[in-house]
Structure 1
Amino acid sequence: MLSTFNPFEAHYDSINDKDDFNIGNSNKNHTVNPLETEAERNIRTRTVTPIVTGSSVAAFVFNGGVILAADVLGSYGSLAKYRNLPRIHQVNDRTILALGGDLSDADYIKEAIDAKVEEDLVQEDGSEMTPLALYSWCTRLMYHRRTKLNPLLTSVIVAGIENNEPFLGRVNDKGSAYKEFLIMTGIANHLAQGWIRTILENSNQLNKEQAEHLMDRIIKQLFYRDCRAFARYRVCIVTKEGVEFKAKEVQPDWSLAPGLRDTE
């Protein structure tokens, strides 16, 4: 006797999706391939809160070069734990990298850049990482990590000499970037940027000595007002002649403290 087709009865063949997902009376076992590897899954378990952080970085353009400064403190929360962590990194004779924020992410960025520089040297084609090239590369790196929902919680400042002209740019943790003659990160963006911008806009271009003196004033003001600042800091000056580093220490004057009582 021939079987009759009943349109109200479900019929499934051997390759039906319902059978593959073990629905009904099927004995098939379906295994779903993971959408991410174990390593990628572990990334999401990493902290998104910086643990060891560096404070502000200050940088501006002067007549003939760029000057940067940052202290050498790594703060473990509110504890001034690591007191000799330079945050200004020389990439080559004309390119400088300065970092603020999460210092473990800063180390990751420095290692990635050093690997890129070494790769360029191995190729022996005469190419060199220029400030503009490093600036563009950092935007891609930071934006890539942000799209992976695992951002590098660090602010990057790239400085140097590009086509015989001073170059200064910043890339934040989201990959947003801009170029400017004055850049501050951290709390210096609120405490120092206003009055320094007024000085730089309303005066003639500073020479190297004047720029260094002004940078010392900036760091001293930050040491007074930023509770995560440190007395010892490094200054980097980039000109056509090369890169110069100086290790300095703030000499504070707290004699004015008694006169600031009851001023709230």
Structure 2
Amino acid sequence: MLGLDEYGSSDEEEGQEPQPSESPYSAARAIVRNLTMPPVPNFEIPPSPPGSPPLKSTKQFAHFLELKKKGVHFNQRLENSSALRNPSLLHKLRGFASIDDEAQYATILSADVAVPTVFPSWAYAENLGKSQREIARKREEEQKKTQREALEFVPASDPGSSGLGIGKGEAMNHFPQAWGRPRDDIYGAYDHSFLQTSGPAQHTQQPIVTGTSVVAVKYKDGVVIAADNLASYGSLARFTDVKRLRVFNNKSVIGFGGDVSDMQYLDRLLTSLSIREDYSQHEAAEDDVSGEEQPLGGGASLNAKNLHTYLSKVLYKRRSDFNPLWNVLLIAGFDHDGKTPFLAHADLLGTTFSAPALATGYGAHLATPILRKRVPSEEAARELSRADAIQLVKDCMKTLYYRDARSLDRYSIAVVERGQDVDLRENEQLENQSWAFAERIRGYGTQIN
């Protein structure tokens, strides 16, 4: 092995310049460079691995390529599937895709650092009850072990007391709930923890934001129903764009009178019922979902009479719970046969009845006489035309605007006609308004007589 001097002398003899010593990391850097930055880019597709692919997979992949050439979306069948849009099947689809609801709370942190996703075992009601009973048992055992030194008795009355165990010079308190009970200064304070401190549960005693009349009349081919767009805050005309006619399945109309918040609650119930009704119309054979129930009623849709029965049961149930829905409803549509016009009434007590002409609220006093004068019976309703029925309802809405302080000159009107969808027109305006008749009313203006 040559020394440093000998190495230098040999270079000088050969006439070459001395070379610096290489770094020990040079080889590693060269390997990393060759791995990350190849001198010539290689864009060739690597050869297939040895062995033949399965014939079934090859056919499926070829079929997939043919569909892609035709422009068919791979997930088109899934996008058109009604089952994927059904909220009630969401948990089944998640289970099929192996999606766990609790997986989103998973963490890789240690137990002492991560935020716990569940309560500890001692925090549940069963374990808390056990621990409380154990503490109470231990207290009883300690009390049994310790012997009482003395018992103090308070006389019912003495010459210097008031007869209630209160001594001379002591003031009688004004809390009757403590009278007749052991004294707190001797036996300790009374435990009030089990008493109800929030008072009794109370429900709506009087509606605040309300809508007024709903008017409806039958004619030979259907039903006409109308309601103004005003929601009054007490006597203040506060909200002037509240639609109180609700269309169901394009075949029935519900008119709401009374409390607006309860109307919104019933509207949510009807929306949920409409979604379930919509999904019940689709057959499960297209999606081949195992275990799915058949459509309700064999695919038959709910008619106006079914809606009237459902809403009357809801109103009666809430009334029986002493928490009524402060609404009066008119349901317009057709009977089971789809040909006979149907018009019925339901109030907050669950009372129901049907007639060829109905009105709620102040309209029950002012509009009903006008309607019954023209349509006194079912026979008269079968002779009434659509145009006459619409004009009759408009006359009632004009009369209510003149006479009812809680009404508005803008209203919504709907026509439910046999064989057609509901014709709903909102923001209708009263025409040919005139207050000339007011001069003939006793007490109007500056009239004396």
TM-score in terms of structure 1 length? 0.81
1:145 aligned onto 2:318: yes
Moved more, 239-248 or 61-70: 239-248
Query: Contact 1:117–1:128 at 8 Å: present in 2 too?
Result: no
1:223 aligned onto 2:406: no
1:249 aligned onto 2:249: no
Alignment-mate amino acid for residue 392 of structure 2:
L
- 1:231–1:199 distance in 2 versus 1, CA, 3 Å: same
Q: C-alpha separation between the residues in 2 aligned to 1:258 and 1:210?
A: 29
Q: C-alpha separation between the residues in 1 aligned to 2:235 and 2:391?
A: 29
How far apart are residue 128 of structure 1 and its match?
Answer: 1.8
What does residue 215 of structure 2 align with? Answer: 58
Query: Contact 2:312–2:346 at 8 Å: present in 1 too?
Result: yes
Alignment-mate amino acid for residue 129 of structure 1:
L
Query: Contact 1:120–1:127 at 8 Å: present in 2 too?
Result: no
Q: C-alpha separation between the residues in 2 aligned to 1:49 and 1:183?
A: 24
Q: Where is the helix percentage greater, Structure 1 or Structure 2?
A: 2
Q: C-alpha separation between the residues in 2 aligned to 1:155 and 1:116?
A: 20
Query: Contact 1:235–1:245 at 8 Å: present in 2 too?
Result: yes
How far apart are residue 263 of structure 1 and its match?
Answer: 8.1
Alignment-mate amino acid for residue 169 of structure 1:
A
Query: Contact 1:59–1:69 at 8 Å: present in 2 too?
Result: yes
Which residue, out of 352, 355, 358, partners 1:183? Answer: 358
Query: Contact 1:135–1:171 at 8 Å: present in 2 too?
Result: yes
What does residue 82 of structure 1 align with? Answer: 239
**1:223-244 alpha-carbon deviations (Å, 9 max, x no partner):** 0000001000011000012210
CA RMSD of aligned residues (A): 2.6
- 1:217–1:263 distance in 2 versus 1, CA, 3 Å: farther
Which residue, out of 296, 304, 312, partners 1:131? Answer: 304
The sequence identity of aligned pairs, in percent, is 28
What does residue 258 of structure 1 align with? Answer: 439
What does residue 12 of structure 1 align with? Answer: none
Which residue, out of 362, 368, 373, partners 1:193? Answer: 368
Which residue, out of 75, 81, 101, partners 2:258? Answer: 101
**1:202-251 alpha-carbon deviations (Å, 9 max, x no partner):** 86721001111111100000000000010000110000122101231113
Moved more, 192-201 or 150-159: 192-201
- Could you say what secondary structure the match of 1:192 adopts? helix
Q: C-alpha separation between the residues in 2 aligned to 1:188 and 1:84?
A: 20
Q: C-alpha separation between the residues in 1 aligned to 2:372 and 2:402?
A: 19
The unaligned stretches of length 5 or more in structure 2 are 1-190, 283-294
**1:92-133 alpha-carbon deviations (Å, 9 max, x no partner):** 121111100001001101111111121222333223221111
Query: Contact 2:356–2:375 at 8 Å: present in 1 too?
Result: no
Q: Where is the strand percentage greater, Structure 1 or Structure 2?
A: 1
1:232 aligned onto 2:410: yes
Question: Which structure is richer in relative contact order (CA contacts within 8 A, separation 6 or more)?
Answer: 1
1:168 aligned onto 2:323: no
Q: C-alpha separation between the residues in 2 aligned to 1:82 and 1:154?
A: 18
Moved more, 195-204 or 116-125: 195-204
Moved more, 248-257 or 199-208: 199-208
Q: C-alpha separation between the residues in 2 aligned to 1:255 and 1:98?
A: 32
- Could you say what secondary structure the match of 2:277 adopts? helix
Q: C-alpha separation between the residues in 2 aligned to 1:53 and 1:215?
A: 21
